[in-house]
Structure 1
Amino acid sequence: MTKPDTDLIIAGGGLAGATLALAVARMVPSLRVTVVEAFPLSPDALPESYQPSYDARSTALAWGSRLIFEELGLWRRLAEHATPIHHIHVSDRGHFGVTRLHASEHGQEALGYVADNRWMGLCLMRELLETGVQWQAPAEVTDMTPIPDGVRVELTTGDNGTREMTAHCLVVADGGRSGLREKLGFQPSHHSYGQNALIANVSTSDSHGFSAFERFTDAGPMALLPHGSPARAGHQSALVWTLTDKALAEVLELSDDDKCRRLQERFGWRLGRFTRIGTCHHYPLTLTTVDEPVRPGVALVGNAAHALHPVAGQGFNLALRGLMTLVEQFRLATEQGKSIGDLDVLRRYQSLHRRDWQQTVRFSDSLVRLFGQSMPPIIAARDAGLVGLDLLPGAKRWFASKAMGLGGRRAVIGRPGKLDREVTRNE
């Protein structure tokens, strides 16, 4: 084809899409990038105007994700409102199994961090303003047609108009709910866990002490992650509470005080009394995977390619490693004079990322299944396993590497760096 309108179109300007755009701009600056986002951009939405909200939604960032953001020049700004996780406490409610991880035991500042989604989005936007990335917003990708050496993409704009753009490659980064993935002919596999995640911020009478708690109960796992000030251990935590449909409906009908009492019954008293719960959000829990997430000129990333159970907080960190793997293939293709939408290029990305997502899916899915069993022999075996993790240095290092997101890519953007050294040190 003649010279396309742009080299890369990214459908979706959320955390995954914006991170991909920044990574390409930083690491493959010769590529022209256009981000298509359904929501209008606010010109004054910059980090300097950010005011943390009690009800802010947040994401768990593994240590490996911090290293990637450092490579992208974003971490110093992100760290201003990223709460560190110094300790992780994993327990089986009503049983003896416990495992504890401490950052100091692994020579790290933290095992991970908790950052507000809006804060991360603002930081990404500020960095992107300093690049040549172009935006189409509000607009949506509604269709795509393969053409020689690329794709023709149809956009619906905010005024209900339509336009077309050509590019070498389209990356779908708008999550798993937009319908674009299915419209383009990708076939996802879904496995429902028959559970829902209730998300809210909570306050407790005792300080979290920068500790994260993963608590497995007979009704499903629940997690409390330290939230708030990055410098002072406060009393606010981010809650992920797994509930059946019936239990979710019951909890949503309760007053805030009764929600706290119900949560107290399920979690216990390790953080003292639950004194406040914020706005509750919820969504059904489904394991979604796409076996073939690439086609000539098209690649799926993030939740469009795989959506996991939130146990162990692996989802966004897996997506981030996949984005960096894709950018590395774009860089190599550009150096070799190949189109970034060439099927061999995209299949190489798929092959490299597949092992990581398969291992991560197995890790999170096996935790859900193992701790969902109520047979006494299985309970005894899993609790012995938790104790073993706590006592055996080799097993503990393996578990810590999973928690810190160091079990995937060995290097960032094709050259030895911090992530490479950290993975090697923790193997």
Structure 2
Amino acid sequence: MSHTDYDVLIVGGGMVGASLGCALAGLSLRIALVEAAPLAASAHPSYDDRTLALAQGTKRIFQTLGLWDSLAATATPIHQIHISERGGAGFAHLDCRDEGVDALGYVVEARLIGAAVLAKLPTLPGLDLLCPAHLDQIAIEPDAACATVGLPDGHTRELRARLVVAADGARSPIREQLGISALRWEYGQQAVIANVTPALPHQQVAYERFTEDGPVALLPMSEQRCAVVCTINDPAVPEVLALDDAGFGALLTRRFGDRLGHFSRIGRRQAYPLFLLKAREHARERVAIIGNAAHTLHPIAGQGFNLGIRDVAALAEVIADARRAEQDIGALTVLDRYADWRRWDQRQTIAFTDALTRLFVNPLPPVRLARNLGLLAFDFYPPIKRLITRHSMGLAGRLPKLARGLPLTA
């Protein structure tokens, strides 16, 4: 077998790529993490002002990786979820007590997750941090035992790895260089995010409110704050971002209602374009694709990051099993196990979030009536309710070891 510099080369130091580095530690692998931005939570573009709803399964994975303790103090548990449509009689209500868990999920600021993961990376054995550096090219020769990656560093430096993992975002250079096509659908909307303080306590309830203009979500945070994700049609975004605090608070009240009273202490607003992306392939010889490089979702149900972390847990387990069996971790026969394992979860989650997005913007009265009846039926039919709730918590289907609290070496 030809000489290699690394067993695994992870391209992308965002939360998903960095989490994979944590997951693979302890497997006696030579690992490198390549990231174009300086490796600091204050500098990395994915560690921004957004908040993330971590599913119960994601919490368990972070616990197994030793990351949860540093997040627990600032994580706000979601005890209940309330789903409704403005102007409609139907609603649905999810409660952690019905599922026998302490919370349906947890709300954590992305910057704090980044800080926790990045603090752990330098302590991991066998992991080299190549930051800042960016991938210039990737080549996979037929029948080669490694992939070759070019990293410009004054002069081009080439590295060879048995496996390259693309965790390099929705515009993945690796995916594009390898000619792996991806379905992309622009929703024509942006998510305007902010932190607000409502007049009434949130009581650890998360709200998903559908309107004819798009959904608005309020997630419980520490200090009785709420994280707002308000969907705005593209043409209206500049006007919304130009609103003062009072104007934005009035917009939220019109969209969300007065369930939590008026909104005060409204924080800085930011906008992010919304689109659906799904790679046609998630594995090739010597290459695995994870996180946003494989799939980017509408935030309507808060599933995007959780789906990426489940990619991490599954790929890490496939690599560990192959390592234990003395198999080539970059061989397509091994990586196909990862792709096959993740296919059902990815398809189900993408279909669910995309269907919700399209269904709740349809203004036709028969569709509106069907939506409200569907919400009521969902709330009163426990088997369907439990199935969807378990899936949204990341506890459905075949669970990776890390999501069951088991180390990869067990």
The two structures share one fold, judged by TM-score above 0.5? yes
TM-score of the superposition, structure 2-length normalised?
Answer: 0.93
Whether the 8 Å CA contact 1:173–1:300 is kept in 2: the answer is yes
Whether the 8 Å CA contact 1:389–1:399 is kept in 2: the answer is no
AA paired with 1:139? A
Tell me the distance in 2 between the aligned counterparts of 1:156 and 1:274: 49
Tell me the distance in 1 between the aligned counterparts of 2:84 and 2:300: 13
Whether the 8 Å CA contact 1:23–1:327 is kept in 2: the answer is yes
1:38 matched to 2:36: yes
| CA apart distance, 1:364 | 0.7
- Give CA-to-partner distance per residue, 1:155-203, whole Å, 9 cap, x none: 134xx54311111011110211354421232211111112111122122
Q: State the partner residue of 1:417.
A: 404
- Give CA-to-partner distance per residue, 1:84-129, whole Å, 9 cap, x none: 1111000011100111111122221110001111211121122223
Whether the 8 Å CA contact 2:290–2:312 is kept in 1: the answer is yes
AA paired with 2:394? G
| CA apart distance, 1:351 | 0.9
Q: State the partner residue of 1:2.
A: 2
AA paired with 1:403? S
Tell me the distance in 1 between the aligned counterparts of 2:113 and 2:166: 20
Q: State the partner residue of 1:85.
A: 78
Alignment of 1:324-363 (within 5 A): 324-363=313-352
Whether the 8 Å CA contact 2:194–2:267 is kept in 1: the answer is yes
Alignment of 1:62-77 (within 5 A): 62-77=55-70
AA paired with 1:3? H
Number of residue pairs matched?
399
1:277 matched to 2:271: no
| CA apart distance, 1:418 | 5.0
Q: State the partner residue of 1:11.
A: 11
Q: State the partner residue of 2:362.
A: 373
Tell me the distance in 2 between the aligned counterparts of 1:418 and 1:169: 26
Partner SS for 2:328? coil
Q: State the partner residue of 2:246.
A: 257
- Give CA-to-partner distance per residue, 1:312-355, whole Å, 9 cap, x none: 10101111111111111111211222221101111111111011
Of 13, 33, 56, the residue aligned with 2:49 is: 56
TM-score of the superposition, structure 1-length normalised?
Answer: 0.89
Partner SS for 2:53? strand
Alignment of 1:132-211 (within 5 A): 132=125, 133-147=127-141, 148-157=144-153, 160-211=154-205
Gaps of 5+ in 2: none
Note closer, same or farther for the CA distance 1:406–1:417 as it changes in structure 2 (3 Å cut): closer
Q: State the partner residue of 1:20.
A: 20
Tell me the distance in 2 between the aligned counterparts of 1:279 and 1:181: 34
Give the % identical residues: 44
Partner SS for 1:108? coil
- Give CA-to-partner distance per residue, 1:365-389, whole Å, 9 cap, x none: 1111111111112111111111122
Partner SS for 1:110? coil
Gaps of 5+ in 1: 47-52, 229-233, 420-427
| CA apart distance, 1:226 | 0.8
RMSD: 1.9
Whether the 8 Å CA contact 1:175–1:304 is kept in 2: the answer is yes
- Give CA-to-partner distance per residue, 1:118-155, whole Å, 9 cap, x none: 21112112222321211001101121111411111101
